[in-house]
Amino acid sequence: MLYFTLILCFFFSMFLTPLVKNLAIALGAIDRPNERKVHERLIPRMGGAAIFASFIAGILILRPESPYLLPFMLGAAIIFFVGIMDDLKELSPKAKLAGQLAAALVIVFFGDLKIEYINMPFGGQWNLGLFSIPLTVFWIIGVTNSINLIDGLDGLASGVSSIAFIVMAVMAFMMGDAYVYAVSLLLLVCTLGFLVHNFHPASIFLGDTGSLFLGFMISILSLMGFKNLTFISLIVPILILGVPISDTLFAIIRRITNREPISSADKFHLHHRLLHYGFSHRQSVLMIYLFACIFGIMGIMVSRSDFHGLNVFLLITILLIEFFAEKIEWAGKRFKPIIKTMDLLFPSLKNKS
């Protein structure tokens, strides 16, 4: 039944997307080119409606049993409504944040889904207490917006989300979590059906309808699959979402160092930097897909390993990401702690360059 439903939802999403495209045009949900966007023509957005509708159809067919299902769907409906309103009327950042906060609180209080404690790697347990609620809300809102932030090239956010769903389905299968496994695969096929129309050259964009919905789904599934297990459980979803989380983190650093509002837009996201260094639109997207796959494989490897050497592995990974970010000015032109340190320690290398 599961695999038949997956096939059905893939084709439903693929055939529904052109209808959503026509609806978006009729409603005026059009993405117009400007100085910070890559596309040069009018393209309808709100494509996430096809993913959402296909997903709901799959849930109604499968009827998966879980105490989280009702709050899960209620939170998703709130996020979907926020995305639709933003695609139609362009909500203010505060209004969007309020909607995301409402959806997150539904999950925390109505769904009783919280990160309550973390088992530390060398023994002992960190009970979060009152911090469990703000940490869980911060995770949901942070991941939701991280997918929204990387939605800058054709097929980028939908492709990276698809990779995350694949990795989470693999993890859920290994952990024997049938619910997360089924929902991850369902979201995967609905997103892939849309990606047929969204890959470069795209005929329709996700819009906030899609990027917020996908980010929200990823944040909730990661909580369901990895909460209250071990210290690794905190690391694994971060690795799986390495690309969007890194892009969000470096965007925050850029805006702080440039003394700009956190919500301001710029052209220093990862996809912008790759385009700046001469990669084509499609090459940039495929390269970020590769990065997402590498992060996902690392997440699976970390989850299956013991703690021997894990701290060293993670430290080296963080340093390599930071060095790469500084070389391409991903964190902006000012924030280069590793390169500046190397210049002080090895001035001869600076002179040669």
| Secondary structure (DSSP) of 215-237 | HHHHHHHHHHHHTTS-HHHHHHH
167 belongs to a structural domain: yes
Which pairing describes strands 117-119 and 125-127: parallel, antiparallel, or unpaired? antiparallel
| pTM, rounded to two decimals | 0.86
Q: Check whether 247 is labelled as a binding-site residue.
A: no
Residue among 252, 290, 277 at smallest CA distance from 328: 277
98 belongs to a structural domain: yes
Q: Which one has a higher pLDDT value, 58 or 248?
A: 58
**Which range (109-118, 184-193, 315-324) has the least confidence?**
109-118
The total number of structural domains that make up the chain: 1
Residue among 300, 302, 64, 68 at smallest CA distance from 173: 300
Peptide bond into 337 cis (omega under 30): no
| pLDDT tier, 106 (very low <50, low <70, confident <90, very high otherwise) | very high
210 belongs to a structural domain: yes
Euclidean distance between CA atoms 62 and 5, whole angstroms: 7
How many Cα atoms sit within 13 Å of 166 on the Cβ side? Answer: 15
241 belongs to a structural domain: no
267 belongs to a structural domain: no
CA distances from 295 to 4, 237, 246, 278 (A): 30, 10, 11, 24
| pLDDT tier, 183 (very low <50, low <70, confident <90, very high otherwise) | very high
93 belongs to a structural domain: yes
290 belongs to a structural domain: no
Whether 64 has a pLDDT exceeding 60, the answer reads: yes
Q: Check whether 208 is labelled as a binding-site residue.
A: yes
Domain residues for the domain of 24 are 2-228
CA distances from 134 to 55, 61, 108 (A): 28, 34, 10
> What are the b/e assignments for 311-338, b being 16+ CB within 10 Å?
eeeeeebeeebbeebbeebbbbeebbee
Residue matched to tokens 């009827």: 63
Residue among 276, 296, 120, 279 at smallest CA distance from 218: 296
Mean pLDDT of 210-220: 94
166 belongs to a structural domain: yes
- Using an 8 Å Cβ cutoff, are 241 and 112 in contact? no
Mean pLDDT of 216-231: 72
pLDDT in tens, 272-292: 888 888 888 889 899 899 988
CB atoms within 10 A of CB 35: 6
pLDDT at 75: 95
- SS3 track for 38-51: CCCCCEECCCHHHH
